[in-house]
Amino acid sequence: MSETARPNANAGKQLTIAVDGIEYQRIPIKTPLVVTGDDLVAVVTAAARPELKSGDVLFVTEKIVGITQGRSYPIEDIEPRKLAVTLSRYVQKTPHGIGLGMPETMEMALRECGTPRILLAAAVAAVTKKLGRRGDFYRIAGPKARGIDGPTEGTIPPYDSQVVLAPAQPKKVAARLSAALGGADVAIVDINDLGGNILGSTLGSKREAVLVRILGDNPLGQGRQSTPMGIVRAS
């Protein structure tokens, strides 16, 4: 295995996991800083192709896909409307990410998902939260809202001061990357320290569900590791 994907690339992360009695390696792959205008296919193939073996699944974070698509915005360029300021106050903030808990990220959710959908999600969540149920806001608002990444202190610059939207057409992106990698399975993932989702892949729904479990503890981390993709390999 090359230096690019050595198993200790992410200090403090356990890079093997057992799911349904099968042990999997999660191999982080380092890349240079990815910026708007980079060719995603070129970045991914250059970094991943030397590491892939038959049967591997390559998982790519939604953030670098969105960045290469021009879907990252400096905070100072976003002007939140009053509704975004108000709604953001009711979002529960966690140590793992700001989510829509700031006016700028909520503004982008309103633009991406539409005001009616966000208002419906907020109204339903206000009711069900009192009943002890959580998660309804993002369930109704959908993956575009869930996939919005706000700036956090530990994020690699310049994205520590930018909002990055969920990628467009992630399933088509996965298919394009797979073709460039000779048919290897590829998944575009939204994984953080609270869990994750598969936004698009060349896997079927059953294998996607297993992959979510394999990646549930976020082996890539979400700080300055510069490992925006990785390989899942059954031992």
Helix (H) or strand (E) holding 223: none
- Mean predicted confidence (pLDDT) in 95-100: 69
- Mean predicted confidence (pLDDT) in 186-211: 88
Q: Are strands 57-61 and 185-192 parallel, antiparallel or unpaired?
A: parallel
Is residue 6 pLDDT above 50, yes or no?
A: no
What is the CATH topology of the domain spanning 3-71+167-234? 60s Ribosomal Protein L30; Chain: A; (3.30.1330)
pTM of the model: 0.86
Could you give the C-alpha distances from 124 to 100, 139, 186, in angstroms and in order?
16, 10, 35
Which tens digit of pLDDT belongs to each residue from 136-159? 898 899 989 988 988 877 788 888
Residue 51 pLDDT:
95
- Other C-beta atoms closer than 10 Å to the C-beta of 189 total 28
Tell me the domain boundaries of the chain: 3-71+167-234, 73-163
Cα–Cα distance, 31 to 50 (Å, whole number): 13
Is residue 49 pLDDT above 60, yes or no?
A: yes
